[in-house]
Every structure is written in structure tokens, then in C-alpha cells.
Amino acid sequence: MPGNSFRKVYVIPCSGIGKMYGLLGREAVLKTVKELRPDKAATMCLALLVYGDDEARKEINGARCITVDGCPKLCAAKNVEQAGGVVVERVRAVDAFRNHRGVDAGTAAHLTAAGWQIADELAADLAGKVDRWYDASEEK
């Protein structure tokens, strides 16, 4: 798997448990890697990296990664870097709300229709970032 997916850009969200921003980031990442850019992007379960799974760490080591965090702890960005991933973009889910002030996006358990719309917008933004970094690696 590392040989096949290494050139892909990894898009890794925080666990997305317990806060709406985390859930929104998680959904946006899944849409990006599974639907919008399945040929260029991959993801990885952050808990695997965090508890030190060797295979996961090998896979991420040296790879270009876009992290998506829900809260200011930046768990995804910090842990991916610690595991040897090259974090080329640090995205914060909260920034996706800049054009949606005051919108009820949902809860830690469920997004509202407005929340899904913001997640879709974030996913589109992530897809653009994936294109940029994937194409950059192609040019090398």
C-alpha cells in the first residue's frame, strides 16, 4: 500500500469526536478523499498514528499531508508532524465559517443542512489544495 499511495496527498482530520467543528472537518475530509479526489488523496486514522502503529507511521513518513483540525489543540497537525509526515497545509475547520457567521451548523453528533453545506465547501477547498500539492509532486 505505501508504494501505491505514497504519491497521494494525505488529508488527515482530527478525531472529530466531541465537537461540531471536528465533526465538520471529518466529514469534509471523507468527502474529499472518498468522493472528490480518490485518485489523488488518501486519509489515515489519526489514532493509529497517535498510539504508534509502525505500519501507519512508515506510510506517513515523508508524505505530504494536509491536516484538518476542529479545535485549537491542533491534534492532527501536531501528531502528523510527530509521526514524520510533512504538513504542507494546516487547515482549521473553524475558518470555513468565515462566510457563515451565526449559522447553526449542528452539534458534535449531527450536522444540520447548513452544516453539511459548509462541510461541502470545505471539501471543495481541500480538493483544490490536494490538486495543487499532487500536481507539484508530479512535476518533480
Partner 1 sequence: MAAKYVILPCNGLDKEAGCLARELALKMAAAMDGEIICPVLYQTAPSRYASLLQEGNLIVIDGCATRCASRIAANNNLKISRKITMAEEAKKRDYNPGPDWRLGAGAAAFVEDVWRSWQPVFMEQGAGRASEENTGLFAGPVEYAIHRHDKFIFRVPLEGFYFNENDCWVQVEGNRGRVGISDYLQQNLSDITFVTPPDPGTEVEQFGEMGTIESAKAVYELVSPVTGRVVAINEAVLEAPELINENPYEKGWIAELELTNFEADREFLLDGRRYLEVLKEKVADFNAGK
Nearer to partner 1, 109 or 113 (CB): 109
Question: Could you give the CA distance from residue 44 to residue 17 in angstroms, rounded to a whole number?
Answer: 16
Quick note: the x/- pattern for partner 1 over 36-55, rule CB under 8 A, is: -------xxxxxx-xx-x--
Stretch that binds partner 1, among 13-21, 95-103, 116-124, 128-136 (CB under 8 A): 13-21
CB of 124 to partner 1, least distance (A): 19
114 lines the binding site for partner 1 (CB under 8 A) = no
Per CB under 8 A, contacts with partner 1 among 17-36 are 17-18, 22, 26, 30, 34
Binds partner 1 (CB under 8 A): choice among 58, 61, 62, 73: 73
Select from 123, 117, 110, 109 the least CA-distant residue to 13: 123
